[in-house]
Amino acid sequence: MDPYFQVAVLSQTENPQGLIWQAMHQDYSEQWVYNERVPHEKRAGELIVKHLLQGGRGHMGPFEHPCITFAVGYFPHSVMQQARTHRTGISFDCQSMRYTGKRICEVAKGEADVESVFYLRQPDLYADRQGKKYFYKEEQRQEDLMYCVENAKRYARAIKEGLAEEHARSLICFDIRQHFVVSFNMRSLMHFLDLRAKADAQPEIHNLCLKLLPYFQEWSPAVAEWYEKNRLGKARLAP
């Protein structure tokens, strides 16, 4: 995995399994759930797995109440492009290239590591969408890194010549690293993992899912354990 890739939690619903239990319980309780005693988090997890998830029941509505927000750092633009195609229950704010070109100019001046600003895959064996395999060589990668530096210099020159940032950004290599903030409810998080943690997902967004998963496990242990056993990597779309 790329050493620059970073994920951190900015905010999350406390006791999410208890909240899901409350939503589930209100569906069939005569009483106002606000006055109901909520099971402790571990027990709530056991109950929601039993009554909502096991046996393919597909009762996913209660999972829309708890939310978690991540700060995602240093992933390539292509990941943001793929990720934001999924909008239901997901919100994004992404680093704009209208205001954040300073780091590119720093690469041009040799003040920043080119790999901290631009992303290239490591030398390895890859396959295209038709399954055709090819090897990306170290020599090719070094040439591409040199191109990224030259690209940064062209961008810096354009800025110096008076071009607006939103004009000059059209010169930037496609896979510049971008930071973004993304919020999921628990249902949309599972749906996102269904789509992007599967075996044939592009490796960069697959790596993002691998970074998200430990936080899911810590935040909602019972649901995450059920998800790993029953859905992870199987390309089953969450209902």
pLDDT at site 84: 84
**Could you tell me if 188 and 88 are in contact, meaning their C-beta atoms sit under 8 angstroms apart?**
yes
Q: How far apart are CA 10 and CA 71, in angstroms?
A: 6
Q: Hey, what domains does the chain have and what are their CATH numbers?
A: 6-92+177-230 (3.30.1360.170), 101-171 (no CATH)
pLDDT at site 134: 96
The catalytic residue positions are: 196
pLDDT at site 238: 53
5: Cα separation from own chain's centroid: 11
pTM for this prediction: 0.93
pLDDT tens, N- to C-terminus, the chain (239 residues): 999 999 999 999 999 999 999 999 999 999 999 999 999 999 999 999 999 999 877 789 999 999 999 999 999 999 998 998 876 789 999 998 889 999 999 999 999 999 999 999 999 999 988 889 999 999 999 999 999 999 999 999 999 999 999 999 999 999 999 999 999 999 999 999 999 998 888 999 999 999 999 999 999 999 999 999 999 988 776 55
